[in-house]
Chain A
């Protein structure tokens, strides 16, 4: 898939809903920060030197050995894309919003299936990322590590014997690794347990943040849990810790769902039914309202209350109804009100198509 196809297609492999525990773990992500030796970090990099970094990466991915090992990966400079296309890559979680800042000197490398990507000249020269559906952190690390080895075969990394991989921000030094899972936790939110549970997590060297939300507010009951420490623990240990905490969370979320079903079944079914009704028939829908209704509907699907809608469609809709995708779909700039109208229209269309199929 070329980058054009990537931005035209709202679907990514991570939204498949195919991985283990995918009723609650939406996706697993591993990223590592790497820098090239003997060059200032991106925020101090001159325009020409930034270009040198992009060149070096281009050469590294065109190397025959790299290609044999990793397959074809395509480098695209951020300035070759339109603002909407750039924003879409963010909405698909393939790049960070930071890559849009000062984008003239930045680039992205994507593998066809969008599972692997490399951001060039973000906060660090290289940020290698793997994004997979469900709970697959070990696999994600394996793939990132292989990509890392492939690049290191031709690129000289800034590495220190004592401190490990050197990064622009001291919070990333050492492994440079940030592993995270995106979790859908409506049960824990509904039984009012989420604050306590997430509070505990932060005591275990992990951080939690709401997805798409500011601060701790989580839209669509989606939470991202990630490691905080990158120095002094081996990559495998960091990942094992995150997996074990995620498993605990899964247990608690499932227990909460069962309790809700047992004790407040009518209210739960009512809530799911109302969400479905609104999504199917509303004519104007803000992004916040949609996110919260998607969460209720998805819970209904996962619990077998709603049977004719495939679960992955909900994640796809969460991405598809973000502002940049709406602009892409409609092919024109939209005012906020128009956006809410198109959003409602698109949701109705997708849901009725799913029902008929």
Chain B
């Protein structure tokens, strides 16, 4: 019998895992068994993070944190079919559209993780569209306010021109 994981070498090891009271036995070659065990030995810091996050989401979405999970209720992403319950269990969203479907309920989660709900960083060059210009505009406006408060009027004039230029660009689309 060949190894269930690499499908290359013969299976010589039976590896039994018990996760959430579910027993699973895999027939593996020695190499794959060793790799899987190395992973189980703590090479997976993110799994802990996901479990942790899942706990947080359970609270946020009003699912009980202990005891058996009740059948899923509530929202579901129409694009990928992920349910709120699935999300709360795994801590992972299913697709980009999930952010829209679960939107308002995710906000407290963002606030708790990031202390914030609004992106202020990089915007994709080609597909970022107007956001790029708008962000740039906001940065320039903040710089303008700062220049004025420091009485750096020459710099302020430069910034004002740059802002006008960008606003024109925005209007023309």
Residues of A within 8 A of B (CB): 35, 37-41, 43-44, 83-84, 86-87, 90, 97-98, 100-101, 123, 145, 148-149, 152-153, 156-171, 173-175, 177, 209, 213-215, 228-235, 323, 333
Contacts and interface: CB of A to CB of B under 8 A. Distances in A.
> Which of B82, B116, B118, B119 has the most C-beta atoms of chain A within 10 angstroms of its own C-beta?
B119
Contact of A235 (B30, B44, B49, B121): B121
21 contacts: A38-B96, A43-B94, A44-B82, A83-B31, A100-B35, A101-B39, A123-B92, A159-B124, A159-B127, A160-B96, A164-B122, A168-B92, A169-B49, A169-B50, A170-B93, A170-B113, A213-B42, A215-B42, A231-B119, A233-B116, A323-B34
B120 interface: yes
A175 B6 contact: no
Contacts of A83: 6, 31-32, 35
A168 B79 CA distance: 14
A100 to B, nearest CB: 6
Contacts of A209: 45
B131 A232 contact: no
B93 A234 contact: no
A168 B123 CA distance: 18
Interface in B86-112: 90-96, 99-100, 106, 109-110
B53 interface: yes
B164 to A, nearest CB: 23
B80 A149 contact: no
A262 to B, nearest CB: 37
Contact count band on B: 35 or more
Given A97-B39, A229-B114, A41 B93 contact: yes
A97 B43 contact: yes
Contacts of A98: 44, 46
B126 interface: yes
Contact of A39 (B38, B91, B95, B113): B95
B6 A234 contact: no
A123 B118 CA distance: 22
Contacts of A167: 93
A229 B95 CA distance: 21
B76 to A, nearest CB: 13
Given A97-B44, A170-B113, A177-B121, 14 more contacts: A41-B95, A157-B127, A160-B100, A162-B119, A164-B119, A168-B92, A169-B50, A169-B92, A173-B99, A175-B119, A175-B122, A231-B114, A234-B120, A323-B34
B87 to A, nearest CB: 9
Interface in B33-57: 34-35, 38-39, 41-46, 49-50, 53
A100 B37 CA distance: 12
Given A44-B80, A333-B31, A123 B46 contact: yes
A159 B128 contact: yes
A164 B121 contact: yes
B95 A232 contact: no
B57 to A, nearest CB: 9
Contacts of B6: 83
A159 B53 contact: no
A232 B96 contact: no
B125 interface: yes
Interface in B108-153: 109-110, 113-128, 131
